[in-house]
């Protein structure tokens, strides 16, 4: 373990072996750091916060600060982070709001400079947030999502797996999985064909997703009718099952 002489480490923090804490970092009470975590310099970690293994925090990242929700009155809330994440310069991630609530961030994610993950968010695995990607409170981001630079996601929205947003997109409703959303306000532009191909999805699956997109967005059917037709006309597979379930469970409605 390497701790710079100017770093401030609470005696009530827990650091596993192999951690490297750079100049002027602050690791507060209730922070638990897994093996091999690296803090560059001027990084602030506040607790209660549990961080997994091999996470990298670049300069001026502020992780685990109290919720910015005005309903928060100081009760213990939590932040949980998985393994192998990268938090670039000035990234912020806040704890939950209600007593014992938590914000959850998975593993192998890449958060570029100035990204923000607000209170009570759930972020999956293998996501990329380009610079200034911003989540309001209670947002869910599923696995393999890419947020374009300056994307802003409204509170309580969901972004489905393998979805992608264009730069400067304004997301005020749910983005269905496998789709590309772009614009202010955002609209669905098509399926994320290139991203899906890069992850090994077959031509047949892409064909079925493209037909689902046509029924949802390029037909005269309403959402319920489109889902019914997808289930009736297209073969069962995990991707279509996830897409139709995501759409039918949408609380804010899906972006059209």
The catalytically annotated residue of 28, 52, 64, 137 is 137
The catalytically annotated residue of 120, 138, 144, 208 is 120
Respond yes or no: is residue 241 known to be catalytic.
Answer: no
Q: What is the residue whose two structure tokens read 């007593």?
A: 99
CB 94 within 8 A of CB 119: yes
The catalytically annotated residue of 119, 138, 144, 208 is 119
Respond yes or no: is residue 183 known to be catalytic.
Answer: no
3-state helix, strand, coil in the chain (%, to 5): 15, 30, 55
Respond yes or no: is residue 251 known to be catalytic.
Answer: no
DSSP H or E stretch at residue 217: helix 203-217
CB 103 within 8 A of CB 120: yes
DSSP H or E stretch at residue 227: helix 223-233
Cα 161 → chain centroid: 10
- Retrieve residue 103's tokens: 């914000």
Query: Among all residues, which ones are annotated catalytic?
Result: 119-120, 137
């Amino acid at each position: 373990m390497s701790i710079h002489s100017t770093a401030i480490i609470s005696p009530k923090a827990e650091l596993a072996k192999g951690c490297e804490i750079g100049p002027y970092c602050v690791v507060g009470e209730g922070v638990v750091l897994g093996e091999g975590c690296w803090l560059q310099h001027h990084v602030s970690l506040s607790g209660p916060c549990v961080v997994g293994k091999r996470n990298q925090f670049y300069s001026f990242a502020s992780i685990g600060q109290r919720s910015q929700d005005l309903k928060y009155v100081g009760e213990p809330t939590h932040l949980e982070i998985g393994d192998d994440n990268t938090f670039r310069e000035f990234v912020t991630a806040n704890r939950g709001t209600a007593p014992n609530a938590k914000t959850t961030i998975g593993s192998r994610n890449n958060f570029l400079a100035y990204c923000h993950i607000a209170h009570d968010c759930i972020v999956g695995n293998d996501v990329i947030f380009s610079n200034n990607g911003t989540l309001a409170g209670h947002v869910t981001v599923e696995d393999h999502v890419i947020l374009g630079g300056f994307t802003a996601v409204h509170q309580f929205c969901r972004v489905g797996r393998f979805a992608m947003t264009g730069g400067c997109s304004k997301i005020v409703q749910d983005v269905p999985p496998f789709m590309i959303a772009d614009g202010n306000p955002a609209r669905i532009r098509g399926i994320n064909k290139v991203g899906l191909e890069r992850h090994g999805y077959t031509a047949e699956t892409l064909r079925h997703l493209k037909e689902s997109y046509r029924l949802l967005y390029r037909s005269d059917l309403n959402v319920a009718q489109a889902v019914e037709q997808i289930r009736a006309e297209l073969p069962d597979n995990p991707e279509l099952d996830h897409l139709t379930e995501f759409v039918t469970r949408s609380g804010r409605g899906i972006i059209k």
